[in-house]
Amino acid sequence: MLAACSGSDGGSGLSSTTAYAPSSSSVAPSSSTSAAPQVMPAACGARELAEMSPRRKLAQLLVVGVTGTQDAVDIVRREQIGGVFIGSWTDLGMLSDGGVASVQKAAETPVMVTVDQEGGRVSRLSGLGIDSPSARELAATMTVEQVRALAKEQGLQMKELGITVDYAPVADVSDESDDEVIGDRSFSDDPAVVTRYANAYAHGLQDAGIMPVFKHFPGHGHGSGDSHTGTVATPDLDELQDSDLVPYRTLIQPGVAVMVGHLIVPGLTGPDTPASISEPAMSLLRDGTGYGGKPFDGPIFTDDLSGMAAISAKYGIEKAATLAISAGADIALWLSTDKVPAVLDALTAAMGSGTLPAQQVDESVVRVLRAKGELDC
């Protein structure tokens, strides 16, 4: 496919909402020699989680495409989903006529407002005057400082429209021709160049208060084809260690998200399971140790689960979303609102059967709430 935190240090500017609860030892002691009562900190988000039903928690893990303001308001009011996706099919009047404010008003928890704004040929906001050259052109013509400034400028424009998350920058390492599936969406075929420029672009977005989403982990740049149209296999995991995975060793930091691609990775996912629904792939990203990276406790997005044949040719959205969340993704992303109730039914059933552990759901919800600035822990 083609995710808000502010401040150049990658912090999120979050408000403090940490809750505390007394332990059983806080009962008045009977002996004068007993230790003073202790108050133990509750787990991060305990109060917020306690106020949510299982279905409401699961809804926070969904980000779906909307056609416009009314579509977004209706689904947020009905199911309290975690976010909406502004795509090429969306009436952009939603961003300029106060529509986002209406969506947020319908939400009990702030809604992520997400967009695919990379620059170049993936510029969903060009109709609103937000555009830039492709990543490859930026790396060829600008310094990293200039790219950071450009990303900040565009991020501020997005923030004015109510957008909170940008599915950019592309962290893929690719030597494809410009018009291939990744092509000029990649900064370079040199992992070091990709790292420097993707890092600068991400920091620029963060400077503006937009959460950047690096994509497409573990690396689409040397994939066998286009996941929009069919199955894509990458080189073996051992080969990715020296190229596609290199940027992520540096790019994983507080205040960012990562999108996992529909990529079959020999030595990691097995022959028939894309990374977006693969527990080993999610664990590789989350733990970091398997590729020399850092542990990652930010949000993991899937790539689009409904409009890309690498997934949709095999699974309906109900199954795809359930597989993705069960594998360890925090946010299932797809293109329309009509199947949201059915997806929530499927996820609820998975929780009930134990296929999707309740503790795992809670951990994902905490990551989502933290990304939205609702938690500071």
Q: Are strands 122-123 and 165-166 parallel, antiparallel or unpaired?
A: unpaired
Give bridge partners of residue 331 from the DSSP assignment.
Answer: 301
Q: What is the model's pLDDT at position 230?
A: 86
pLDDT of 28 above 80? no
For residue 286 the two structure tokens come to: 């989350």
The DSSP annotation for 43-110 comes to: PTTHHHHHTS-HHHHHHTTEEEE-SSHHHHHHHHHHH--SEEEE-TTS-THHHHTTHHHHHHHH-SSP
Closest alpha carbon to 350 in 342, 305, 274: 342
| Residue 30 DSSP class | S
Q: What average pLDDT does range 282-307 have in this prediction?
A: 97
Q: What average pLDDT does range 277-287 have in this prediction?
A: 98
- Which residues lie below 8 Å from residue 60, measured CB to CB, with a gap of 6+? 52, 80, 81, 82, 109, 364, 365, 368, 369
Q: What is the model's pLDDT at position 164?
A: 99
* b/e map 1-26, b = 16+ CB within 10 Å: bbbbbbeeebebebeeeebeeeeeee
Q: What is the model's pLDDT at position 32?
A: 40
pLDDT of 351 above 60? yes
Question: Chain centroid to CA 95: how far?
Answer: 21
Closest alpha carbon to 311 in 286, 291, 284, 329: 329
Q: Provide the mean pLDDT of the chain.
A: 90
Domain 52-372 falls under CATH 3.20.20.300: yes
pLDDT confidence bin for 359, thresholds 50/70/90: very high
Q: What is the model's pLDDT at position 18?
A: 31
Q: What average pLDDT does range 242-269 have in this prediction?
A: 97
Q: What average pLDDT does range 27-48 have in this prediction?
A: 60
- Which residues lie below 8 Å from residue 99, measured CB to CB, with a gap of 6+? 68, 69, 72, 73, 93
Q: What average pLDDT does range 8-13 have in this prediction?
A: 36
Q: Torsion angle, CA of 61/226/199/83, rounded to 10 degrees?
A: -20
Rg (CA), the chain: 21
pLDDT of 328 above 70? yes
Q: What percentage of the chain carries pLDDT values higher than 70? A: 89
For residue 8 the two structure tokens come to: 């150049």
pLDDT digits (tens, 9 = 90+) for 131-143: 999 999 999 999 9
pLDDT digits (tens, 9 = 90+) for 93-107: 999 999 999 999 999
Give bridge partners of residue 259 from the DSSP assignment.
Answer: 301
**What are the catalytic residues?**
228, 303
Q: What is the model's pLDDT at position 38?
A: 57
Angle 9-365-308 from CA coordinates, rounded to 5°: 90
Distance from C-alpha of 278 to C-alpha of 324, rounded to nearest angstrom: 7
Decide if 333 contacts 304 (C-beta within 8 A): yes
Q: Is 240 helix (H, G, I), strand (E, B) or coil?
A: helix
pLDDT of 31 above 70? no
Distance from C-alpha of 105 to C-alpha of 80, rounded to nearest angstrom: 11
Distance from C-alpha of 376 to C-alpha of 5, rounded to nearest angstrom: 12
pLDDT digits (tens, 9 = 90+) for 141-179: 999 999 999 999 999 999 999 999 999 999 999 998 887
Q: What is the model's pLDDT at position 39?
A: 56
Distance from C-alpha of 75 to C-alpha of 103, rounded to nearest angstrom: 9
For residue 55 the two structure tokens come to: 């279905």
